[in-house]
Amino acid sequence: MLRFISILLASLFFTSTAFAQVSGWKYEWPNTDFSKKSVEFSEILSGGPGKDGIPAILEPKFHKVSDEQKLGSREPVMTVELAGQVPRAYPIRYLMWHEIVNDVIGDVPIAVTFCPLCNSGVTFDRRVMGRTLTMGVTGKLRYSDMVMYDHETQSWWQQFMGLGIVGEMTGVRLKTLPSWTESWADFKARNPQAIVMQEPEGSRRRYGANPYAGYDTGRPFLYKGEDPPYGIHPLARVVVVGSRAWPLERFKNTAVINEAGVRISWKSGTASALDTRSIAKGRDVGAIRVRDAITGKDIAHDVSFAFAFYAFHPQGTWMLGD
């Protein structure tokens, strides 16, 4: 009987806590449908800033590679190369402070996203169910990963998965597009006629500085989940393709891995954005590119911290090699 009462009281506590949590959110999010969700509200935490406290970029400007003067040679950029279009580079020095860039390449509306706390850089097609969404930053975290929102329905999205988790778009998944992180030197050497995103105007943010100095050798921020298995450090980088993860440690002795139908290549020369105070001076963590082993076409992937992969793919496959 006492056990039943304890369970009942605990249930009432968590129910009342969740109700209070949602009631507070509704002041800031009056147009979000909180009756629809696929996750527990208790898993969603405030990361500090409120809605749009981290301002997504809505109208990025670009200039030619030859006109860029601010980027260090090893600074990481996110590269997007769509068929028939001029390649574009999105410097992490800007994504560090804005986390989302809404852009249009040709006739494809995209969202280039980067969550510093998970080291997760993913590019999405913004077209969903016949409409084009504009993505912003909620200021919330789930498993230390950015929770995005769309302006059109005010639904909340998990950045790591590209999945709607709260609101009208709950259960809807954004299409992931191939993109990768590499050094500025490698991008411009391969694409001398390409374009690169310019520094956003009118902002006082310290572009080029890493506000999370030393983060990628510490512990995850606001993460209450379990650590990865096999003794893998939570902040070890892993290459994520679907529900498989390859630890970057495997590239200590080889530059190419061919497994599970994909060809993963590693190249030195790209700085960690989450190491030293200056992004350009971060230690070399290299760059990853993933292609289909047969066709050679680029495949959508992510290079994230191991804890994030485990949190969102608890039954995922760890590609540990022999």
Q: Which helix (H) or strand (E) holds 12?
A: helix 2-28
Report yes or no on 168 lying in a domain: yes
Residues 162 and 49 in one domain: yes
Per the DSSP assignment, residues forming a β-bridge with 37 are 166
Q: Name the stretches of the chain with pLDDT < 50.
A: 2-16
Report yes or no on 66 lying in a domain: yes
Residue 132: alpha-carbon gap to chain centroid = 20
| pLDDT at residue 24 in the model | 85
Burial class, 253, CB count within 10 angstroms (exposed 0-12 / middle 13-18 / buried 19+): exposed
Side by side, which strands form the sheet with 317-318?
Answer: 302-305, 237-241, 244-247, 317-318
Report yes or no on 17 lying in a domain: no
Residues 91 and 135 in one domain: yes
Per the DSSP assignment, residues forming a β-bridge with 156 are 149, 166
Q: Assign residue 288 a region: left if phi > 0, alpha if psi is -120 to 50, beta otherwise? A: beta
Tokens representing 282 are 């971060």
Tokens representing 132 are 């084009």
Per the DSSP assignment, residues forming a β-bridge with 138 are none
Residues 184 and 217 in one domain: no
Backbone angles phi, psi at 97, to 5 degrees: -105, -15
Residues 178 and 239 in one domain: no
Percent of residues in the chain assigned helix, strand, coil, to nearest 5: 20, 35, 45
Report yes or no on 302 lying in a domain: yes
Report yes or no on 15 lying in a domain: no
Report yes or no on 5 lying in a domain: no
Report yes or no on 76 lying in a domain: yes
Residues 46 and 153 in one domain: yes
CB atoms near residue 172 (< 10 Å): 18
| pLDDT at residue 152 in the model | 98
Residues 210 and 83 in one domain: no
Torsion, CA 209, CA 211, CA 216, CA 217, rounded to 10: 100
Residues 174 and 227 in one domain: no
Among 196, 216, 249, the domain-final residue is: 196
Residues 175 and 65 in one domain: yes
The domain in which residue 191 lies consists of 29-196
Report yes or no on 13 lying in a domain: no
Among 168, 196, 224, the domain-final residue is: 196
Distance CA 62, CA 193 (A): 12
Distance spanning both ends of the chain, measured CA to CA: 53
Residues 179 and 295 in one domain: no
Tokens representing 64 are 């030619």
| pLDDT at residue 20 in the model | 58
Supply the pTM of this predicted model. Answer: 0.93
| pLDDT at residue 18 in the model | 56
Residues 187 and 216 in one domain: no
Residues 260 and 290 in one domain: yes
Angle at 127 between CA 44 and CA 99, to 5 degrees: 45
CB 190 within 8 A of CB 89: no
Look at the chain and report how many structural domains it folds into: 2
| pLDDT at residue 13 in the model | 40
Among 136, 163, 196, the domain-final residue is: 196
| pLDDT at residue 4 in the model | 46
Residues 178 and 58 in one domain: yes
